Amino acid sequence: MTKFDKTKFELDNLIMNHDVYEIIKRIKRENRGLKTLLKVSKSLSASLEIEDVLYKAMEYVEKVCKAEASSIWEIDHEKKELFFRVIRGKHAERIKKMRLKIGEGIAGHVAKVRKPLMVNDVRKSPYWEDAFDSESTFQSRSILAIPILLGRRIIGVIELLNKKDGRGFNQKDKENLLALSGAIAIALDNARLYEERKELFIQTSFALATAIEKRDPYTGGHTKRVLDYSLQIGKALGLRGKELEGLKISAILHDIGKIGIPDSILAKPASLTREEFEIIQGHPVIGAEILKEIKGMEKIVNAIKYHHERWDGKGYPENLKGEEIPLWARIIAVADTFDALTTSRPYRKRISEREALEEIERNIEKQFCPDCGKAFLKIMRG
C-alpha cells in the first residue's frame, strides 16, 4: 500500500463512520486553533520585558476560555512561595503583593502536585483560601489552575477565575490552557534570566560604587541615599522602564570619579584649599572618562559628567544651562545636594531636613531644574 493509498484508506474509514462535514469542520477547527496558538506563542517570545506581553497573553486566554480574571504566579524557590507575576481582574492592585506558600491554597496545591486542578465551586474545595477574595473583594466561584513546567522543573502556576457562563470551566478550556503553557514557561524563563543579568549588573555596580565611596570618610551611605531620592524624583516625573533604569545606574555611579582623587584630599579633616577643591571638582569628568568607551553607556556617562551643572549655567564642568543638562543629571543634582546638606562635612555642620528643603526651594531656577526641585519638595514634604 503506498502512502497515498494508506491516507485514502484511512479517510474512507473516517468518512464511512462520520459525517464528512463534521470531519472537515473538526480539522479546520484544529487548524484555526493551531494558528492562534502560533500567533500567541510568537507574541509571547517577542519581548524580554515580559510583564506587558504576559498581561496581553492572559487577556487573550481569558477571552478564549471566557474567564473573568486570571493570574500568573511565579515560584520563589528559595522561600518556597508563590508570588504574582501577572494579575488581572477587579481590585488586582490590592492583592498583587500577597504571597502564597507552596502547598497553600489552590495555586499552592497545584505548585506542589504539579498537576492541573479544575475547581468549579471553590467553597467546596479543600484547598480554597479566602484571604485573597476578602482583600480584593473579588468573588471567586470557579478556578482552573495549571502548573507551568519547564522540562521537569516547575516555575509557576496559571490561574483562570470564574467562567463567565456560570457553569464552570471544562475539558476544552483545560486543553487550550495546557497547549499555551509551554510557550508561557519559556517566555517566563527567558524574562527571568534577562532580569537576573540586569540585577547582577546593577548590584555589582552598586557594590563597587559603595566600596569606592568608602574612601571618602565623610559620606557613608551617600550612594544609597542619592539613589533612593533620585528614583523617587524620577518616578514622580513619570519615568519608567529603560528611562528609570538608566537613571538608577547613573545615580549609583555618579561619584565613581572620586576613585581618581587622592586619599589625602578625600580624608582631609579640615577645609580644602582652593587647589584641593578644584581637584575634587574633577570627579564628574573622571567618572565619565572611566566609562566613556562602553557601548550603551553614553547617556549614563553624560549624567555622571553633568551632575554638578546648575540650571543657571554656573555649575561645572561645562557651564551647561537649563535643559542642556541631561534630565538624569538634573535629578541627581537635587538628590546629591540634599544629601550633602543633611550630612556633616569637615568644613561645615549638617543642617536639618527642613532647612535643607528650604535651601533647595530658594535655589530652584538658580541651581536646580524647577520640575526636579519641585517634585522633590513635594515628595519630602508629603
Contact residues: a second copy, CB under 8 A: 7-8, 11, 15, 20-21, 23-25, 27-28, 30-31, 34-35, 37-38, 41-42, 44-46, 48, 182-183, 186-187, 190, 193-194, 196-201, 203-205, 207-208, 210-212, 214-215, 256, 259-260, 262-264, 290-291, 293-297
**Least distance from C-beta 320 to a second copy, angstroms?**
24
DSSP state of 214: T
All cell numbers assigned to 211: 566600596
Instruction: Please answer whether residues 110 and 145 qualify as being in contact, where contact means their C-beta atoms are separated by less than 8 angstroms.
Output: yes
Closer residue to a second copy (CB): 29 or 366: 29
Closer residue to a second copy (CB): 47 or 281: 47
Closer residue to a second copy (CB): 234 or 287: 287
Cα 303 to Cα 230: distance, rounded to the nearest angstrom: 12
312 closest CA partner among 365, 359, 375: 365
Question: How many C-beta neighbours within 10 Å does residue 268 have?
Answer: 17
Cα 261 to Cα 306: distance, rounded to the nearest angstrom: 18
User: What are the beta bridge partners of residue 73?
Assistant: 84, 157
**Least distance from C-beta 275 to a second copy, angstroms?**
18
**Least distance from C-beta 79 to a second copy, angstroms?**
13
Instruction: Please answer whether residues 85 and 92 qualify as being in contact, where contact means their C-beta atoms are separated by less than 8 angstroms.
Output: no
**Least distance from C-beta 190 to a second copy, angstroms?**
6
**Least distance from C-beta 179 to a second copy, angstroms?**
9
All cell numbers assigned to 303: 549624567
Closer residue to a second copy (CB): 260 or 322: 260
Closer residue to a second copy (CB): 47 or 232: 47
Q: Is 256 helix (H, G, I), strand (E, B) or coil?
A: helix
Closer residue to a second copy (CB): 221 or 370: 221
End-to-end alpha-carbon separation of the chain, Å? 83
Cα 227 to Cα 254: distance, rounded to the nearest angstrom: 9
**Least distance from C-beta 294 to a second copy, angstroms?**
5
Cα 223 to Cα 47: distance, rounded to the nearest angstrom: 32
Closer residue to a second copy (CB): 30 or 278: 30
